[in-house]
Chain A
Amino acid sequence: QVQLVESGGDLVKPGGSLRLSCTASGFIFTDYYMNWIRHSPGKGLEWLSYISPASHDIMYADSVRGRFAISRDNAKRTVYLQMNSLRVDDTAVYYCAFPARLARDWGQGTKVTVSS
């Protein structure tokens, strides 16, 4: 069955960086766009970014463009979210999900806390 496992969440100071990972199993990874979505008490659910199978098509929400970078390693069946210049309002549970537009499957989430 489909499984998405996120990791990398942590407590980090404002201005710091983190890299989240999401490892997939149970489906043909190279057939699908992969996505990062976050859930925070203040902003609710927010779709942050997606990446196409060959990494040619990438999009970001305005709130993270220029600070976050999505990437994927198809050989490792893993999608990443590099998060730089973190702010207090980036505090959230971060989920990977697929497919694009439809979000049928989600991981369990990884918690990121940005605080001094």
Chain B
Amino acid sequence: DVVMTQSPLSLPVTLGQPASISCRSTQGLLYSDGSTYLNWFQQRPGQSPRRLIYKVSNRDSGVPDRFSGSGSGTDFTLTISRVEAEDVGVYYCMQGTHWPWTFGQGTKVEI
């Protein structure tokens, strides 16, 4: 199975400051259709996961533009340009290229 390794696992942040989360996969995530199926999710306490970014860098509708995704191959990054209080939660990367599709361990973002 492809292992997704996130770092850090805990991220203390300061309001208004940038923050970034790294995600590394044990295999390249380029699929035969030309897409790289690397997605990012946010889970707030008591809620279901919410997708923020799909296929590396595409922001979902309604997601603030302070969230951005980048990377290629096996190294990917989620960046929050200026952290706001509502960004507290756990963030997961996930690969949908190699079955079984797998998630990272999660990064807890706290103020």
Binding site for B on A (CB under 8 A): 39, 44-47, 59, 61-62, 95, 100-104, 106-109
Contact = CB atoms under 8 A, between A and B. Distances in A.
Contacts, number: 48
13 contacts: A39-B49, A45-B94, A46-B103, A59-B100, A61-B100, A101-B96, A102-B39, A103-B41, A103-B94, A104-B51, A106-B50, A107-B48, A108-B48
Interface string B32-65: 0000010101000000111100110000100000
Interface of B: 37, 39, 41, 48-51, 54-55, 60, 92, 94, 96-97, 99-103, 105-106
Nearest to B60: A104
B54 A104 contact: yes
A15 B108 CA distance: 34
Nearest to A101: B96
Nearest to B99: A59
A100 B92 contact: no
B40 to A, nearest CB: 11
